[in-house]
Amino acid sequence: MGREDSHYRPDGGAARGTGRSGSGGATGRVPVPDAHLPRAAEPSPPVPESVPERPPPLPWRPPGGSAPVGPNTGRFPALDSNRPTSAPPSGRAAIPTSPAPGLPPPGDESTIPLPTGAPPLGPPISALPASTGAAPPPASTGAVPPPASTDAVPPPMPAAPRRRLPVVLALVLLLVLAGVGVGVTRPGPVAGWLGDDAGPAPTAGASAEPDPSDVLAGPDPNAPLPSPDGVRAALDPLVGVADLGDRVNVSVADVTSGQTLFAKGADDGTVPASVTKLATGVTVLAARGPGYRIPTRAVAGAKPGEVVIVGGGDTTLAVDKKGYYPGAARLDDLAAQVRTALGGVAPTSVTVDGSIYSGPRYGPGWDADIPTGGYGGAITALMTDGARRDPSVGSGGAERVSEPDLAAGRSFARLLGVPADTVERGTAPPTAAAGGSSPAPGTELGVVQSPPLIRLVDIMISESDNILAEALARQVALARNQPASFDGAAAAMDAEVAELGLPAEEINLSDGSGLSRRNRISPSVLTDLVRLAASPDHPELAGIFGGLPVGGWSGTLDDRYRGAPGTGAGAGAVRAKTGTLTGVHAIAGLVTTADGRLLTFAVLTDKVPGGTDTAQPALDRIAAALANCGCR
């Protein structure tokens, strides 16, 4: 069983790859306008006023009175005003970018730090406390505020910063987004995407912070482009090793230009395992938008005293403040709203309505032991804490309840003072005209909302959360008026990928988590998805970068790129999503070369003869080789 996502069994398992037998290569596949770094020879685009240089970040300190926290505790910290993030503090310079569709006009722009979703797994040494808000923008001008006095700017960083692993996580998203041409701050309602409230600006008399530590240098905007011959020389000896089996499909492309640098079976559909979540993240952000929140409602039932709780697909819903997911909506808040709406009339029964979902509760192509293995479970429209029986258990495998909807309904009933053994499934009555002394059947009694999708995508990718992934896939289906089922979600995701301009024939999904062995995605579709998310034409898709694990430091890469020979260069330089099923190993994401060039890569192999102890280091050497060379 793999701790990572899915489902690794050392006893072996069948995995057949299918797809077209093309030779690979993605040249000219999908144009991503302006998704590139500025070159010295090109004129700089006009910017409003001047953009002051950013001072380096200050060291992160845990909240006062908190216990020391080591890296990679396996659980994200609670979201509050003291949580570390990799976003810059408020008041820093903004880099204007093209707003997403539906954003306010230029005269209504605000300078807001780029969202990074859920906080990293363990506080990085040099991360900053979360910003409490930004100063109001200049009235109706859209201009960047003038730089603050240089007396208040911390000392500049050393001229030759060294790579130090403990400080990578705080800045890696900032560096990645700077490298791919996505601004560190955006105009428009980004704070609304995150659900953050503006707060007071820092006081001028704050005590001075110590000098910052050295940090990982960012990608060089003028770094030389690796040559296909150079990349081939570096990778050819690595992609053919026996530990990866005889079906290894690879795509490597330059984020700046989109040029394909290496292609081996790049257009062939391959079992992607949990790398599927990259497609899930991109498609749900495209279909719903980063600020969408999933509601859980309570309405008056058809019988006197009946309360119907209507699940909308929020798997992060908590019973109370002790829930698993940070910032989650809570049933105790919903119960309080219901009591207020009923005006002191005691409810007598609770009905659970999960009818927004249809079809089977377990996915097609899932291995038989997934329902009880701790990494998957029944997919229902109402559940709490991702169906975990104990929300205090850390990330990874956890015992799940077999009927998540009824378990959530019973928790809700207890909060309302209703006997839990009376909870049953049913459907909410249609809304009726108001009248009488009691709420009419169908009258809304309360509603709570999930964190915004940008946070949920971040958690899904960083934690490789399979149940959350299935819920997000169903949001794509609902947005496209498709059935919220495995089949409906898969078809909707395929269609969304096609609408984004990617080759639909190279992706064929059966679920949103990657647990299904029926899924097929080509490596070049994955690198295209990453490039598309980097494009300033699609700022709403950049949310997939916040949760990408960092080599040797966080998420599913926290224990990789460390001790295995030939992998060390990838520590801090590789940021990628991993995938593991028995006989299937995959990785896709971003890597910065030794020259500072930002590349996107995907390596999928679905006929691995051995286990993770040999396959993962072999896979990691491929990305590490890209990080270690200029490949010219």
Q: Residue 399 above 60 pLDDT?
A: yes
User: In this structure, are residues 24 and 522 in contact, taking their beta carbons and an 8 Å threshold?
Assistant: no
Band of the pLDDT at 222, cuts 50, 70, 90?
A: confident
Three-state secondary structure of 252-306: EEECCCCCEEEEECCCCCECCHHHHHHHHHHHHHHHHCCCCCCEEEEEECCCCCE
Per-residue pLDDT at 221:
74
Domain membership flag for residue 331: yes
Backbone φ and ψ for 53, nearest 5 degrees, come out as -70, 145
**Mean model confidence pLDDT for the chain:** 75
Per-residue pLDDT at 5:
52
Q: Residue 242 above 60 pLDDT?
A: yes
Per-residue pLDDT at 205:
46
Please give the average per-residue pLDDT across 105-124, as a whole number.
34
Domain membership flag for residue 418: yes
Per-residue pLDDT at 277:
98
Q: How many Å apart are CA 334 and CA 328, to the nearest integer?
A: 12
Q: How many Å apart are CA 261 and CA 270, to the nearest integer?
A: 20
Q: The whole model's pTM is what?
A: 0.71
For the chain, the domain total comes to 1
Per-residue pLDDT at 434:
61
Please give the average per-residue pLDDT across 127-151, as a whole number.
37
Share of the chain above pLDDT 90, in %: 58
Please give the average per-residue pLDDT across 197-215, as a whole number.
45
pLDDT tens sequence across 250-284: 999 999 889 999 999 999 999 999 999 999 999 99
Amino acid at 475: Q
User: In this structure, are residues 100 and 539 in contact, taking their beta carbons and an 8 Å threshold?
Assistant: yes
Please give the average per-residue pLDDT across 40-53, as a whole number.
38
Q: 406-437 in b/e burial notation, b at 16+ Cβ within 10 A?
A: bbbbbbbbbbbebeeeebeebebbeeeeeeee
Q: Residue 76 above 50 pLDDT?
A: no
- Give the helix, strand, coil percentages of the chain, each rounded to 5: 30, 15, 60
Higher pLDDT, 245 or 45: 245
pLDDT tens sequence across 156-190: 444 433 333 333 333 434 444 444 333 333 323 33
Per-residue pLDDT at 344:
84
Per-residue pLDDT at 211:
52
> Looking at 172-176, 405-409, 548-552, which range is the least confident one?
172-176
* 277 noted as active-site residue: yes
Domain membership flag for residue 144: no
Per-residue pLDDT at 45:
43
Per-residue pLDDT at 503:
93
Domain membership flag for residue 412: yes
Q: Residue 566 above 70 pLDDT?
A: yes
First and final CA of the chain: distance in angstroms? Answer: 40
Q: Residue 355 above 90 pLDDT?
A: yes
Q: Residue 535 above 80 pLDDT?
A: yes
DSSP H or E run through 230: helix 228-239
Q: 238-276 in b/e burial notation, b at 16+ Cβ within 10 A?
A: bbebebbbebbbbbbbbbbebbbbbbbbbbbbbbbbbbb
Per-residue pLDDT at 203:
45
Backbone φ and ψ for 526, nearest 5 degrees, come out as -65, -45
> Looking at 24-28, 449-453, 581-585, 614-618, which range is the least confident one?
24-28
Higher pLDDT, 64 or 216: 216
Per-residue pLDDT at 630:
85
pLDDT tens sequence across 468-478: 999 999 999 99
Per-residue pLDDT at 372:
86
Which residues contact residue 473 at a Cβ distance below 8 angstroms, ignoring those fewer than 6 apart? 280, 283, 284, 489, 490, 492, 493, 511, 512, 513
* 274 noted as active-site residue: yes
Of residues 580, 572, 582, the one with CA closest to residue 603: 580
Please give the average per-residue pLDDT across 587-612, as a whole number.
94
Per-residue pLDDT at 330:
98
Domain membership flag for residue 353: yes
Domain membership flag for residue 322: yes
**Among 90, 131, 213, 274, the one annotated catalytic:** 274
Band of the pLDDT at 72, cuts 50, 70, 90?
A: very low
> Looking at 129-138, 267-276, 343-352, 621-630, which range is the least confident one?
129-138
Per-residue pLDDT at 534:
87
Domain hosting 306: range is 295-450
Q: How many Å apart are CA 579 and CA 555, to the nearest integer?
A: 12
288 C-beta neighbours (distance < 10 Å), count: 20
**Among 86, 126, 251, 277, the one annotated catalytic:** 277
Q: Residue 587 above 60 pLDDT?
A: yes
Classified as helix, coil or strand, 162 is coil
Domain membership flag for residue 498: no
Higher pLDDT, 40 or 549: 549
Band of the pLDDT at 631, cuts 50, 70, 90?
A: confident
Per-residue pLDDT at 208:
53
Please give the average per-residue pLDDT across 590-596, as a whole number.
94
Classified as helix, coil or strand, 112 is strand
DSSP H or E run through 332: helix 331-342
* 140 noted as active-site residue: no
Per-residue pLDDT at 260:
96
Per-residue pLDDT at 536:
85
Band of the pLDDT at 436, cuts 50, 70, 90?
A: low
Per-residue pLDDT at 90:
32
Q: How many Å apart are CA 547 and CA 176, to the nearest integer?
A: 12
Higher pLDDT, 217 or 130: 217
Q: Around 347, how many Cα atoms within 13 Å sit in the side-chain half-sphere?
A: 33
